[in-house]
């Protein structure tokens, strides 16, 4: 959105549900109005610029435009993030645009330090066993895409994390004493296997082409490890990050430009608060 478009843009709509605030509007415009150093954790997945069919956003810009736009958003995220905040950016390329996530990460280097690079594994085969949803790819050139990136950016690379809060129990319990740990918990590492729930149709995915599972933002918020953190998702989609924040007792702000996705996010949050599971 250009400055001129922004001036013509419709009035922002704001909704409060539980600990969460939802804003319908252009995220750059909303971010510019937010207070600096007010956010502990950003978890977001922007449009990947690979031609997905969102309801209103055309996911296909010239690559330079897209990167400039994302840098403008990154600049605002740096401003609203607390100095010890964490920015988790989930993105993937496509076979036609394999460099895009890396180009973006390099552009964001002017603003952030890449403190961790997490692989979100959506499906994997271990030996002859397979886990997660396998989406076949009809190609002799490319492998089935089983993972996406989660870049963990911070302002200076020194943010203390709660690795055990986001950790896992030891498989071999004798390692607890051997490694001098006081509890049955170790760091999860930087490969996170988080499969999608199996669904029967697109409607069960809220008619949205690019959601992530609630466990992904939950894991990011737990890893950042601040109690009652203030969480932000500038590309909220169906509100998954806000559901994670709500589940963990955190306040959150989610922004999306699309009225239909905002309606889905509001319904999901209302259902979660009424104890209706998805």
Ligand X SMILES: C[S@@+](CC[C@H](N)C(=O)[O-])C[C@H]1O[C@@H](n2cnc3c(N)ncnc32)[C@H](O)[C@@H]1O
150 closest CA partner among 105, 209, 113, 208: 105
* Smallest gap from residue 169 Cβ to ligand X (A): 28
* Smallest gap from residue 255 Cβ to ligand X (A): 5
Torsion of CA 266, 236, 92, 140, to 10 degrees: 30
Q: Which is nearer to ligand X, 62 or 177 (CB)?
A: 62
Q: Which is nearer to ligand X, 81 or 264 (CB)?
A: 264
Q: Which is nearer to ligand X, 155 or 241 (CB)?
A: 241
* Smallest gap from residue 3 Cβ to ligand X (A): 14
- 9 vs 141: CA distance, rounded Å: 43
Position with the least CB separation from ligand X:
237
Q: Which is nearer to ligand X, 223 or 257 (CB)?
A: 257
* Smallest gap from residue 120 Cβ to ligand X (A): 12
255 closest CA partner among 273, 236, 239: 236
Per CB under 6 A, residues contacting ligand X are 1, 26-27, 45-47, 54, 57, 208, 210-212, 235, 237-238, 240, 255-258, 261
- 82 vs 176: CA distance, rounded Å: 35
- Quote the radius of gyration of the chain (alpha carbons, Å): 19
What does the longest C-alpha to C-alpha distance in the chain come to?
Answer: 64
């Amino acid at each position: 959105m250009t400055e001129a478009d922004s001036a013509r843009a419709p009035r922002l709509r704001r909704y409060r549900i539980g600990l969460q605030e939802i804003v319908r509007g252009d995220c750059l415009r909303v971010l510019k109005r937010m207070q600096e150093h007010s956010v502990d954790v950003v978890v977001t997945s922007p449009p990947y610029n690979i031609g997905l069919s969102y309801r209103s956003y055309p996911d296909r810009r010239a690559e330079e435009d897209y990167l400039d736009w994302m840098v403008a958003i990154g600049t605002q995220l740096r401003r609203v993030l607390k100095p010890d905040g964490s920015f988790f950016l989930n993105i993937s390329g496509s076979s036609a645009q394999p460099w895009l996530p890396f180009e973006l990460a390099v552009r964001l280097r002017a603003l952030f330090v890449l403190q961790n690079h997490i692989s979100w594994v959506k499906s994997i085969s271990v030996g002859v066993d397979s886990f997660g949803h396998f989406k076949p790819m009809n190609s002799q050139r490319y492998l089935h895409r089983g993972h996406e990136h989660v870049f963990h950016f911070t302002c200076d690379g020194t943010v203390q994390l709660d690795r055990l809060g986001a950790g896992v129990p030891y498989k071999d319990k004798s390692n607890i004493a051997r490694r001098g740990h006081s509890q049955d918990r170790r760091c999860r590492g930087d490969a996170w296997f988080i499969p999608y729930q199996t669904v029967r149709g697109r409607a069960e995915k809220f008619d949205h082409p690019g959601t992530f599972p609630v466990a992904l933002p939950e894991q990011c918020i737990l890893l950042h490890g601040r109690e009652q953190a203030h969480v932000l998702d500038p590309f909220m989609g169906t509100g998954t990050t806000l559901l994670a924040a709500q589940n963990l007792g955190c306040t959150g702000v989610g922004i999306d430009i699309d009225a239909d996705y905002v309606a889905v996010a509001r319904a999901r949050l209302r259902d979660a608060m009424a104890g209706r599971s998805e």
